[in-house]
Structure 1
Amino acid sequence: MSEPFALLDNQKHADVKFTAPKYAHVADQHMLPVSLHELLYAAVDVPVVFIKNKEADEYQAVMMLGLKPNQNLLVKGEEWQGNYIPNVLRDFPLTVVLNPEHKDKVWVGLREESTQISKEEGEPLFANGEETEFLKNRREALLKHFEQDQQSRAILGYLASKGLLTAQTLTVEVKGQPRNINGIYLIDERKLASLSDEEFLDLRKRGLLGPIYSHLTSLNQIPRLVQLEDALA
């Protein structure tokens, strides 16, 4: 989802409307980011694991949508086949734009090449130069999701500082052939169990036990992805 974007503008985009969501633009993405606030919902659908941006030294929770790069087993044509639609797709084609010179401010961008944009039909973004209720609601949700994502990065940094995130290689068997999935991090259950009572209580007070156990439970969805790939012609 790296399409170019422009800052949302009530004059430039006065005639822009949003049509019903389509998902072909992520058909080749085997992972999509989620916040920890979404983990409970995403975990009932697919495995949720963590990846690391080594340059920024940050961790990100992601939904695993395929078992190899460029494979999304939850998109068929333009339709989403999963039960939970992550915020990153709900917000599209809007995006948060950061300016390094104004770190206390964010802007809203629009991916102008999206197939969800029309001038003939759909929900209008502006009316008489003012934001419609539709756009106000979309903007509010976008900024809320951005804040949740920032909180999640900080929380994952905390979990990493406790040694709870460890690099793992998952080995699955697809159509009779073993396949290794590298570059992911999981909660280390042994280290979780070895925490002191004080440390474990701190996780509970921070509200982190729910996301942790949702992540661990979600790993039971790996066989579902195997079945989906096995079913491909």
Structure 2
Amino acid sequence: MTRNVLLNNVEHKDLRVITKRGAAYGDDVMFAVTFPSEFRNVQAHYPIVFQKSHDGRGFQPVALLGLRAGQNLFLKGDRWDAPYVPLAIERQPFLIGFDRDELMVHIDLDSPRVSQTEGEPVFLPYGGTTEFLERASSMLLAIHEGLQSNTAFTQVLLQHELLEPFALDIERPDGSQHRFAGFYTIHEERLAKLGGPALESLHQAGHLFGIYMAIASLSRLRDLIQRAQALGE
């Protein structure tokens, strides 16, 4: 359950946010939504793949954190075992809301990260915003702008038929097989066959960089598999 409300320094003057990591705080997720302007940071640690939208008409890029539902292979107790945490994870429990078309910071009061006694203060004693909240606001703006860019990015991929389904057959330590499927990657052969005008168009629109970042990120699949095997999965 969620209880999203507009954040304000009167009703929420004593709120704190727990920044520790762990399944108890909702970090046990298989993937996190990402966007092209975040790809440079994400690709260094996580595979970037594409997931079909709920209506089946579009796609969204995601950073893979695990190989099955509810699995986050980067959780090590109460810490995150990578230098970079995807913004869609790090921004919790804050969300973007709208008030008369103006972007406003909301907070999920039912989040296990929200506390009155533990964690980072959201407001200063006399009502001003803390550096912690200012950073959260910047993250939310980056996410909002990034998610808006996803539509154009994935539409171009579909236009050039650059998405293809992929599957991995993973051998578990006990010798059994696990098939990982349901996601899409960039079709590298079709990309290589695109003509000059198409590539120039992708470059001018700023999409070519994101495409190559997504391709480069697939080298992180091996790390993901090794993390799973180390756990006996």
- Map 1:21-40; keep pairs closer than 5 Å: 21-24=20-23, 25-40=25-40
Match of 2:186 in 1: 187
Match of 1:170 in 2: 168
Taking only the aligned residue pairs, the percentage that are identical comes to 30
Q: How many angstroms does 1:182 deviate by? A: 2.0
Q: How many angstroms does 1:62 deviate by? A: 0.9
Q: What is the alpha-carbon distance in structure 1 between the residues aligned to residue 127 and residue 49 of structure 2?
A: 43
Is 2:13 the counterpart of 1:14?
Answer: yes
- Map 1:27-176; keep pairs closer than 5 Å: 27-55=27-55, 57-97=57-97, 104-127=101-124, 128-175=126-173, 176=175
1:174–1:26 distance in 2 versus 1, CA, 3 Å? farther
Does structure 1 retain, via aligned residues, the 8 Å contact 2:21–2:27? no
Q: How many angstroms does 1:65 deviate by? A: 1.2
Secondary structure in structure 2 of the residue aligned to 1:57:
coil
Q: What is the alpha-carbon distance in structure 1 between the residues aligned to residue 58 and residue 98 of structure 2?
A: 17
Q: What is the alpha-carbon distance in structure 2 between the residues aligned to residue 55 and residue 193 of structure 1?
A: 30
Does structure 2 retain, via aligned residues, the 8 Å contact 1:169–1:182? yes
Secondary structure in structure 1 of the residue aligned to 2:184:
strand
Q: How many angstroms does 1:200 deviate by? A: 0.8
Does structure 2 retain, via aligned residues, the 8 Å contact 1:171–1:181? yes
Secondary structure in structure 1 of the residue aligned to 2:60:
strand
Q: How many angstroms does 1:123 deviate by? A: 3.6
Question: What is the TM-score of this pair, normalised by structure 2?
Answer: 0.86
Secondary structure in structure 2 of the residue aligned to 1:210:
helix
Match of 1:230 in 2: 229
The number of residue pairs the alignment matches comes to 229
1:54–1:141 distance in 2 versus 1, CA, 3 Å? closer
Match of 1:208 in 2: 207
Does structure 1 retain, via aligned residues, the 8 Å contact 2:21–2:75? no
Q: Which runs of 5+ in 1 are unaligned?
A: none
Q: Could you say what the CA RMSD is over the residues aligned between the two structures, in angstroms? A: 2.3
Q: Structure 2: which amino acid aligns with 1:84?
A: Y
Q: Which runs of 5+ in 2 are unaligned?
A: none
Q: What is the alpha-carbon distance in structure 1 between the residues aligned to residue 66 and residue 132 of structure 2?
A: 33
Q: Structure 2: which amino acid aligns with 1:161?
A: Q
Q: How many angstroms does 1:191 deviate by? A: 1.1
1:222–1:132 distance in 2 versus 1, CA, 3 Å? closer
Q: What is the alpha-carbon distance in structure 2 between the residues aligned to residue 54 and residue 113 of structure 1?
A: 25
Segment of structure 1 superposing worse, 195-204 or 163-172: 163-172
Q: How many angstroms does 1:5 deviate by? A: 2.2
Q: How many angstroms does 1:171 deviate by? A: 2.6
1:122–1:66 distance in 2 versus 1, CA, 3 Å? closer
Does structure 1 retain, via aligned residues, the 8 Å contact 2:3–2:108? yes
Question: What is the TM-score of this pair, normalised by structure 1?
Answer: 0.86
